[in-house]
Amino acid sequence: MHRPVGPPEADSDPAGERGEGPEEKERASGIEMPGRGGAAGHDAPSPSQDSAAVGQVQVQALPLFKQNFLASRGARAVSYRDPEIGGGEGRGVPPRLPGIPSRSRDGGQRQESLLPLELSSVSRRLDGPPTETEARRRRLKHYELQCTHTFEHMHIGGHMVAKSREILRGAGITHVINCVRFEYDNYFQDEMKYLGLYLQDWGQEDIYCVFYDAFDFIEAAREGGGKVFIHCSQGVSRSAAITIAYIMWRTDRHVEVVLDQMKQVRAVVEPNIGFYFQLIAWDKRRKTIMDKCNIYRAAPLSKLMSSIVVAKNIPKTGDPNEQHCLDPRGAFIVHCPQRLYVWIGDQCPEAFLRAARKFALQLGKYENAPKATEVRQGEEDSELASALGFPPNDASGLVRQRDEFTPEFERYHRALAPKLASGDEPPLPPMAGVRRNIGRRAQSDVLSLLGEDRHGRQPPPGPSVFGVPP
């Protein structure tokens, strides 16, 4: 049961036993009681008003330490008997401010008025140091329209530079690598050469699989006397990872050294943690003497970009008895210390075969791999079987379909399937519509680099963009 809020009784007041009156208690607690010590000429409130006002004081009044805290910063607690405050009119009645709803003693709703504070004199530290978020925003704004020169014929930046013909012309750009092709168009294809990459800026994205395609494009620009602009959304992570990888290959420097040099010319450069560790792993693999085979497979780039085929590394589990089966629906690249195999399954699509051949040439150029030997299904020798973890005299399980690869093959064939007529096409949810548009854009510019259109038709014979024989 709640005790009613009202003036304290004299017989239960310990201060009263010490001879302290209400005025002394008021001064000791730092709380001004209504009806006491008011301005001259003001009438004292009635007992009922005094009881209600005391209740308000217990709910609203600031403790002494809060008043001192505000006073030390130039603020003051406004008394509800201040004649300047509207509603009180100097009679000890609190002004009616929007308050907090609460439950009254009889079960009804009531509003608890809030004690107004005068905070206009509190100083604001507008001239203090910026927060980390604000500092990062300012740095990004500073580099937003900068085409930063990084190395020899290479520049880096964000999409705002990629949309500016004047900035690109001023830097002498002739080639552009668009790392965010699914977000931004190749704006000046009639004037410059473009390479579109569909990369997401998150830790699980496999950026290693596009390194050598980017290297081929950059090298072609260098040999032709051109300049390359590599851009993503802000020139921070994706474009920086591509640039760092190329400089590492050209100068044989460690990732930390190249990253520090990049930060000196563009302070916002910061590849995400997944890209950073892929750069370290790639650098270590290039510089370490091979004692085991590295195995790659031709596979779709991602779930959203299933029509683009690249070579992806098959990670090792560390098990010495691990066996790698070859799926007849695809193509595999087996890089051994002394041999390089390109294995081709009976059901392998032509785009998978071209991607495997191209990657084998890139391994020879960028990782000093030997010349590739093509092996068709059924022609495997004992050396290849041993490299995949099978005993030379028993390779019966070497070729079989792998269930974990089935969804990727299905997505690839769906991406290349002819589309229905517009009137017969069922409505798609928003995300599916985005994926459809991305897929169509990829088929229009990236699949042409692989030598196949969206319906699987072959182009007329001619030189490949990356120098791979058709």
Look at residue 209 in the predicted model and tell me its pLDDT. Answer: 94
Query: How far apart are alpha carbons 49 and 51 in whole angstroms?
Result: 5
What does the pLDDT read at residue 33?
Answer: 45
Over 80: is that where the pLDDT of 447 sits? Answer: no
For residue 430, the model assigns a pLDDT of: 43
Q: Which pTM value belongs to this model?
A: 0.65
Provide the mean pLDDT of the chain.
Answer: 75
pLDDT for the residue numbered 56: 47
pLDDT at 253 over 80: yes
pLDDT at 228 over 50: yes
Give percent of the chain above pLDDT 70: 61
pLDDT of 259 strictly over 90:
yes
Q: Is the pLDDT of residue 32 over 60?
A: no
| pLDDT (0 to 100) of residue 102 | 52
Q: What is the pLDDT of residue 101?
A: 56
What's the pLDDT at 115? Answer: 58
Where is average pLDDT lowest: 197-201, 222-226, 382-386, 421-425?
A: 421-425
The residue-averaged pLDDT of 190-211 equals 93
pLDDT for 5 beyond 60: no
Q: Where are the domains of the chain?
A: 10-118, 138-288, 291-470
Per annotation, catalytic residue among 147, 232, 336, 348? 232
224 against 423, higher pLDDT: 224
Taking only the tens place, the pLDDT of each residue in 184-199 is 999 999 999 999 999 9
pLDDT of 13 higher than 90? no
User: In the prediction, which pLDDT does 59 show?
Assistant: 43
- What pLDDT is stored for residue 159 in this prediction? 94
Contact partners, residue 37, CB within 8 Å, separation at least 6: 23, 26
Mean pLDDT value across residues 164-172: 95
Class of domain 291-470: alpha beta
The tens digit of pLDDT for each residue in 50-68 reads 544 444 444 444 555 556 6
Place of tokens 């007529």: 421
232 assigned to active site: yes
The mean pLDDT of 401-412, rounded to a whole number, is 93
Residue with the larger pLDDT of the pair 274 and 321:
274
The 3-state secondary structure of the chain reads CCCCCCCCCHHHCHHHHCCCCHHHHHHHHCCCCCCCCCCCCCCCCCHHHHHHHHHHHHHHCCCHHHHHHHHCCCCEECCCCCCCCCCCCCCCCCCCCCCEEEECCCCCEEEECCCCEECCCCCCCCCCCCCHHHHHHHHHHHHCCCCEEEECCEEEECHHHHCCHHHHHHCCCCEEEECECCCCCCCCCCCCEEEECECCCCCCCCCHHHHHHHHHHHHHHHHCCCCEEEECCCCCCHHHHHHHHHHHHHHCCCHHHHHHHHHHHCCCCCCCHHHHHHHHHHHHHHHCCCCCCEEEEEEECCCCCCCCEEEEECCCCCCCCCCCCECCCCEEEEECCCCEEEEECCCCCHHHHHHHHHHHHHHHHHCCCCCEEEEECCCCCHHHHHHCCCCCCCCCCCECCCHHHHHHHHHHHHHHCCCCCCCCCCCCCHHHHHHHHHHHHHHHHCHHHHCCCCCCCCCCCCCCCCCCCC
- Reply yes or no on whether the pLDDT at 40 is more than 50: no
pLDDT of residue 317: 75
**Would you state the pLDDT for residue 55?**
45
Query: Is the confidence at residue 333, as pLDDT, over 90?
Result: yes
pLDDT tens column, 286-320:
888 888 889 999 999 988 889 999 999 998 777 77
> Which pLDDT tens digit goes with each residue over 339-382?
999 999 999 999 999 999 999 999 999 999 999 999 999 999 88
Split at pLDDT 50, 70, 90, the class of 107 is low
Q: What is the pLDDT of residue 66?
A: 59
Q: Which CATH number describes the domain made up of 138-288?
A: 3.90.190.10
User: CA 37 to CA 23: how far, in whole Å?
Assistant: 8
> Is pLDDT of 385 > 60?
yes
